[in-house]
């Protein structure tokens, strides 16, 4: 992306030209949620204004129009991530719900006391706590892949953790703290060799890298629309059809049934079996518009722009005295977490905010990883397709200013 293209693209995001405390907004909290382009907001408002009706149930025109849009979104998602068909795409509220669904429904049928689930030390709480709940319910064991000093998964330790007792391996494709891109394809192959299924938490990778579930060889993959320029409240669980077919429903209610009687209820076909209640059919249309937006720019183009930004940020921030970057994996995405000397991360975040710079501070929902690096929290700058090197310059200058205050 050249500077003119980037300037033009930024006008798709009206919020980026707003001011904070009289300073231009510099939004570097994209790993938490991204800003939305006008086309996504317009797709949502057009749906509400012209095709709003509950889906799947109505014979009337509006209901059918809404259903068509909702189901087109499913087809778009399937294509975007290389799924075999749209029956493998379950709409959820987001990554968290998708992983809870797997732990609950897959765990129900396929896991028993003594079975092992492998996660890693760099996981978001959303990929830890659902498995701990299953641990309490079923007596499974949770094994943890350690993280190396430079922020990679210890793959030797991973191989040693795998055994015939391993039933599930669940790891992030890209860390929301260290930016590390994990070798999930090889890890999936190793998991399959011992008969386990492989789950990918793709919350941070789908917005930044091309995704192909077939090439990754994963069994499940979870992500959220709001981190990929789409709306909040909608996300995706991809699951291999043969597995989804064997899993019981996650929640009961309307939409997910075939017939209900007090003698016994039968469930709908895939993927509706997992979609109890009125789905977020406006959100799915927003997600479809977000996919369209990203595809028009091109995922390779997005990935290379963000790789350039990340390299630049590591160089600029790395030159600041007393600044420690966490995670130095060669394969990494657009997230840089750091601390500066003894300055509290919250102070850095608060002072940067006064300069119009939005970064995230705290444990980033990864407390075990904070413990691993012996810190209570970190400052995190995370980039999206609209960020620029001059915003990174402003961040570096802002950090220098903060540093001089202490």
Q: In this complex, which beta carbon is closest to ligand PLP, that of residue 126 or of residue 388?
A: 126
Lookup: tokens for 71? 């189901």
**Least distance in Å: CB of 234 to ligand PLP?**
10
Name the residues that contact ligand PLP, by CB under 6 A. 31, 94-96, 124, 126-127, 172, 176, 201, 203-204, 224
**Least distance in Å: CB of 119 to ligand PLP?**
11
Q: Which of 123, 98, 80, 37 has the alpha carbon at shortest distance from 384?
A: 37
Q: In this complex, which beta carbon is closest to ligand PLP, that of residue 44 or of residue 203?
A: 203
Q: In this complex, which beta carbon is closest to ligand PLP, that of residue 120 or of residue 166?
A: 120
Percent helix, strand, coil in the chain, to 5, is: 45, 20, 35
Q: In this complex, which beta carbon is closest to ligand PLP, that of residue 187 or of residue 355?
A: 187
Dihedral of CA 231/199/367/405: which sign? negative
Strands 166-172 and 197-201: parallel
**Known catalytic residue at 365:** yes
Q: How far is CA 390 from CA 20, 316, 395, in A?
A: 17, 11, 9
Lookup: tokens for 262? 């007090």
Lookup: tokens for 336? 């840089």
Q: In this complex, which beta carbon is closest to ligand PLP, that of residue 58 or of residue 210?
A: 210
Q: In this complex, which beta carbon is closest to ligand PLP, that of residue 76 or of residue 201?
A: 201
Question: Are the C-beta atoms of 289 and 39 separated by less than 8 Å?
Answer: yes
Lookup: tokens for 266? 């039968």
Residue 358: strand pairing partners: 27
**Least distance in Å: CB of 201 to ligand PLP?**
5
Q: Would you tell me the crossing angle of helices 281-297 and 38-50 to the nearest 10 degrees?
A: 150
**Least distance in Å: CB of 58 to ligand PLP?**
30
Residue 23: strand pairing partners: 20
The DSSP letter of residue 165 is: T
**Least distance in Å: CB of 378 to ligand PLP?**
14
Give the chain's radius of gyration (CA, Å). 22
Question: Are the C-beta atoms of 25 and 356 separated by less than 8 Å?
Answer: yes
Collapsing DSSP states into helix, strand and coil, what is residue 114? Answer: coil
Residues 6+ apart with CB under 8 A from 183: 153, 155, 331
C-alpha–C-alpha distance, residues 184 and 170, integer Å: 10
**Least distance in Å: CB of 160 to ligand PLP?**
24
| Catalytic residue selected from 144, 320, 365, 375 | 365
**Least distance in Å: CB of 190 to ligand PLP?**
21
Q: In this complex, which beta carbon is closest to ligand PLP, that of residue 224 or of residue 337?
A: 224
The angle at the Cα of 385, spanning 383 to 387, to the nearest 5 degrees, equals 55
Question: Which residues are designated catalytic?
Answer: 365
């Amino acid at each position: 992306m050249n500077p003119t293209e980037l300037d033009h693209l930024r006008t798709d995001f009206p919020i980026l030209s707003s001011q904070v405390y009289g300073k231009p907004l510099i939004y570097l909290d994209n790993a938490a949620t991204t800003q939305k382009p006008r086309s996504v907001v317009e797709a949502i408002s057009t749906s509400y204004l012209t095709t709003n009706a509950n889906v799947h149930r109505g014979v009337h025109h509006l209901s059918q129009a809404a259903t068509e849009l909702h189901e087109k979104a499913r087809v778009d998602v399937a294509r975007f991530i290389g799924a075999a068909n749209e029956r493998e795409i379950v709409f959820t509220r987001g990554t968290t719900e998708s992983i809870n669904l797997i732990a609950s429904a897959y765990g129900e049928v396929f896991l028993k006391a003594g079975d092992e689930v492998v996660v890693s030390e760099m996981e978001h709480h959303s990929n830890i706590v659902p498995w701990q709940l299953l641990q309490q319910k079923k007596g499974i064991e949770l094994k943890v892949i350690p993280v190396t000093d430079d922020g990679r998964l210890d793959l030797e330790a991973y191989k040693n953790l795998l055994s015939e007792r391993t039933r599930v391996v669940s790891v992030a494709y890209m860390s929301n703290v260290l930016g590390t891109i994990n070798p999930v394809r090889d890890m999936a192959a190793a998991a399959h060799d011992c008969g386990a299924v492989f789950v990918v938490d793709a919350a941070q990778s789908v917005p930044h890298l091309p995704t192909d579930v077939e090439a990754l060889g994963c069994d499940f993959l979870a992500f959220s629309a709001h981190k990929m320029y789409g709306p909040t409240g909608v996300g995706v669980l991809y699951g291999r059809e043969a597995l989804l077919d064997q899993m019981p429903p996650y929640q009961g209610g309307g939409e997910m049934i075939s017939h209900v009687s007090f003698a016994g209820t039968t469930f709908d076909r895939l993927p509706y079996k997992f979609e109890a209640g009125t789905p977020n059919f406006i959100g799915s249309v927003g997600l479809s518009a977000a996919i369209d937006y990203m595809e028009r720019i091109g995922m390779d183009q997005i990935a290379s722009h963000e790789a350039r930004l990340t390299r630049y940020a590591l160089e600029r921030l790395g030159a600041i005295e007393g600044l420690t970057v966490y995670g130095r994996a060669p394969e990494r995405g657009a997230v840089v977490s750091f601390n500066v000397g003894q300055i509290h991360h919250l102070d850095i975040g608060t002072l940067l905010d006064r300069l119009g710079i939005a970064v995230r501070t705290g444990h980033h929902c990864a407390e075990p990883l904070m413990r691993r690096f012996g810190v209570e929290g970190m400052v995190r700058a995370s980039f999206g397709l609209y960020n620029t090197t001059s915003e990174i310059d402003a961040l570096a200058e802002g950090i220098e200013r903060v540093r001089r205050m202490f």
